A and B are shown apart, each in its own frame.
Chain A
Amino acid sequence: DTAVSQTPKYLVTQMGNDKSIKCEQNLGHDTMYWYKQDSKKFLKIMFSYNNKELIINETVPNRFSPKSPDKAHLNLHINSLELGDSAVYFCASKAGTASYNEQFFGPGTRLTVL
């Protein structure tokens, strides 16, 4: 069974559309994250949730809205997609809130905005 799964794996869409990426973890973890891998291959944190509550919200445009219906899911909804949103988005989770706990990453979703 996949520990952290993301759907879809690939997403190609037109500028201006609204799309969602789903993330689910079956590890029983309390904390989940969204990262964006930028054009220079850096992993940059976007959001962090702990037990469905928002913990970290980096300087991300408010077109990006995370939603956590329960602690096993953290979905990412993006409104009015722009060309610059094209990237690979990774979901991750970790047990508890301790910083020394390792993160487990999903396979990534490659978003292409045309």
Chain B
Amino acid sequence: ILNVEQSPQSLHVQEGDSTNFTCSFPSSNFYALHWYRWETAKSPEALFVMTLNGDEKKKGRISATLNTKEGYSYLYIKGSQPEDSATYLCALVLETSYDKVIFGPGTSLSVIP
């Protein structure tokens, strides 16, 4: 059974704090990794798609890195704001199954004003 894991499961930070969380995945057969942001009562929205080892992506205060050799990706949020409160999902795409995306369980972030 292929597992995509995320840690921590949930996180509470104060407004203005920077934070990061981890997505771990099997390194063999890697093709791409997606990060999604999922606000309560809304749909998941794509943040980043990463394909190459060493990739770094940035969108505003949010950035992500990728290490395909050791099988992990970090998502960083600088200066967290209450509107960053959401569940952050990573999703793995395998080389052998391009259309299938395997989602992790998510990290739930709450930013306290």
Contact = CB atoms under 8 A, between A and B. Distances in A.
Interface of A: 4, 31, 40-45, 48, 50, 55-56, 90, 97-108
A44 B49 CA distance: 19
Given A41-B106, A43-B89, A107-B43, A48 B99 contact: yes
Report the contact-size class of chain B (Cβ under 8 Å from the partner): 20 to 34
B98 A97 contact: yes
18 contacts: A41-B87, A41-B106, A43-B44, A45-B100, A45-B102, A56-B100, A90-B44, A99-B101, A100-B32, A100-B49, A100-B93, A101-B49, A102-B34, A102-B46, A103-B44, A104-B46, A105-B44, A105-B45
Main secondary structure of the interface of B (DSSP, over half): strand
Interface in B28-66: 31-32, 34, 42-46, 49, 51
